[in-house]
Structure 1
């Protein structure tokens, strides 16, 4: 029943079934089905339906308030005690590119402070991680900064800025990135992701027509596809992508360079756990120290 209650809250927050579905990763029909299932379970309707619109009725308003209380209480089941040495579970959302780099380094110091805590790394794209944090399914998130405003109960701390570059097979000659991006198959950073939206805005602002080829969200996979001569790609150059294979080279966009900002999204200080604040500090320290070759395993 918790998923249905969260869907009810999302509909009330975003105004329509379609908008709610977009934010929580469900189709409009799936949202409608969940609301219908909830109404059948409760025994009364929550919305006044007119055509395609649905307005929360009086019973729906009362149910919404109770749903928010229930979901808030449910989200606290996994909260940690204030004692630093207590057992507990900390759920950390993280995009793929930080898990083996920034987060891995930060957890070395964090483990020294909280040796008995259990950690669960929850993978996902930034949009879904933000929704999971809002729903109380995770305790903090390391992700790309949203390209839109954030809810007031959430706070953002910036960690690193990664420049986007054009990645091309090394055998391709020439340094004119405008020509190369338009004359070779284009490997697109998945357009519904925050990073992919940045690429799309850049292409439109520069009036660049690309030869759509493959679309994916995995940056390492994108590098390997370029290495195998499948096309060129606009992608952020962070430590997770470096060093590049010898068969690949990255070209600067010069004055047109744009950046992917990676940071920590968490609840406001009053609503966060002590361990979350400590993790944020460890992440800031790891970001400031930067990546050093000595940090890599020697083989």
Structure 2
């Protein structure tokens, strides 16, 4: 199969026009039409149909348009690897937002020093979506939380951090016991649809605390900013978030044991990019080891104090 024909097909689907696809490719519309006929013979199915003045994919064409980007990327990566010394290639990394705003930039900084010729693509999503994306071959690995379900045996996992709950509070309230703050101050609730939010629910029930809930949201950065503005306190996982200097927020340990969410990297054991994935995991471990040697988790809240 001519990969250029597949690229033309994707352009036709994107623009809805063979003429526009031809213009972008700097070839004739007749040449594009011939390429599409060749693809339909190759796949033994009609791929495009007319809808008024536009061209749209058939059901078979829709399925091809969903799989073609990954196929084109694999072919491009194979071409790069064949024509290089093995240090190049591409890596598609999924990430949760917490990692994107904390550990991942440092991990990538280390990774590109080790693998300067690798091109990295990032996609942000929730852990469940990242798991599915790995299974479907859309991404190679994910920096995320351990799923709430058991990983399939085809997956591998590298634990990077364990994150128990802590209480975020305004600095001027740091002298008060955490449970007293939870009972007397408005609670900025971490989204209970998330694993961390469910940890909060379990802790509050076990401690028999029914707080006054003022807000509920999923962004840990936004929650910390709201605590800084005096809008309440928050129970959150002890993440490696790197917040701006000058925020008057403290992290208080809780008097009772809490669940810890597990943060790490997951990938398929059969991945064609295992050397690159292992290199990224090594970078992650180096970043965390260096941060631990300094006595702080990587990207930790700069306003952290111990009461």
Does TM, normalized by the shorter one, top 0.5? yes
The separation in 2 between residues aligned to 1:245 and 1:257, in whole angstroms, is 29
Name the SS for the 1:188 alignment partner.
strand
Partner of residue 86, structure 2: 84
Distance 1:175 1:278, change over 3 A: same
1:32-43 alignment to 2 at 5 Å?
A: 41=59
Q: Per-residue deviation at 1:139?
A: 1.0
Partner of residue 168, structure 1: 169
Q: Per-residue deviation at 1:121?
A: 1.5
How many pairs were matched up?
Answer: 230
Partner of residue 275, structure 1: 276
Q: Is the 8 A contact 1:127 1:194 kept in 2?
A: no
Q: Is the 8 A contact 2:134 2:140 kept in 1?
A: yes
The separation in 2 between residues aligned to 1:179 and 1:239, in whole angstroms, is 26
Q: Which runs of 4+ in 1 moved over 4 A?
A: 70-77, 241-246, 269-272
Partner of residue 23, structure 2: none
Q: Per-residue deviation at 1:255?
A: 3.7
The separation in 2 between residues aligned to 1:85 and 1:271, in whole angstroms, is 14
Partner of residue 134, structure 1: 135
- Is it true that 1:209 corresponds to 2:210 in the alignment? yes
1:83-162 alignment to 2 at 5 Å?
A: 84-86=86-88, 88-162=89-163
Which stretch of the first structure deviates more once superposed, 72-81 or 119-128? 72-81
Q: Per-residue deviation at 1:241?
A: 4.4
Q: Is the 8 A contact 2:154 2:270 kept in 1?
A: no
The separation in 1 between residues aligned to 2:174 and 2:105, in whole angstroms, is 37
Q: Per-residue deviation at 1:229?
A: 1.1
The separation in 2 between residues aligned to 1:106 and 1:99, in whole angstroms, is 10
Q: Per-residue deviation at 1:273?
A: 3.4
1:1-299 alignment to 2 at 5 Å?
A: 41=59, 75=70, 77-79=72-74, 80-81=77-78, 84-86=86-88, 88-172=89-173, 174-241=175-242, 245-269=246-270, 272-290=273-291, 292=294
The separation in 2 between residues aligned to 1:216 and 1:129, in whole angstroms, is 21
Q: Is the 8 A contact 1:84 1:275 kept in 2?
A: no
Name the SS for the 1:256 alignment partner.
coil
Q: Cα deviations across residues 218-252 of structure 1 (Å, max 9, x unaligned)?
A: 11111110011111101123331467745222221
The separation in 2 between residues aligned to 1:135 and 1:108, in whole angstroms, is 28
Q: Is the 8 A contact 1:97 1:240 kept in 2?
A: yes
Q: Is the 8 A contact 1:141 1:266 kept in 2?
A: yes
- Structure whose CA Rg is larger: 2
Name the SS for the 2:241 alignment partner.
helix
TM-score using structure 1 length:
0.66
Q: Per-residue deviation at 1:267?
A: 0.8
Name the SS for the 2:172 alignment partner.
coil
Q: Per-residue deviation at 1:197?
A: 2.2
Distance 1:73 1:155, change over 3 A: farther
Partner of residue 22, structure 1: none
Query: Tell me, which stretches of 5 or more residues in structure 1 are unaligned?
Result: 1-39, 43-66
Q: Per-residue deviation at 1:143?
A: 0.8
The separation in 2 between residues aligned to 1:105 and 1:173, in whole angstroms, is 30
Q: Cα deviations across residues 132-168 of structure 1 (Å, max 9, x unaligned)?
A: 2222221111111122211222111100122321111
The separation in 2 between residues aligned to 1:102 and 1:235, in whole angstroms, is 17
Query: What RMSD in Å do the two structures reach over aligned CA positions?
Result: 3.1
Q: Is the 8 A contact 1:219 1:241 kept in 2?
A: no
The separation in 1 between residues aligned to 2:175 and 2:276, in whole angstroms, is 50
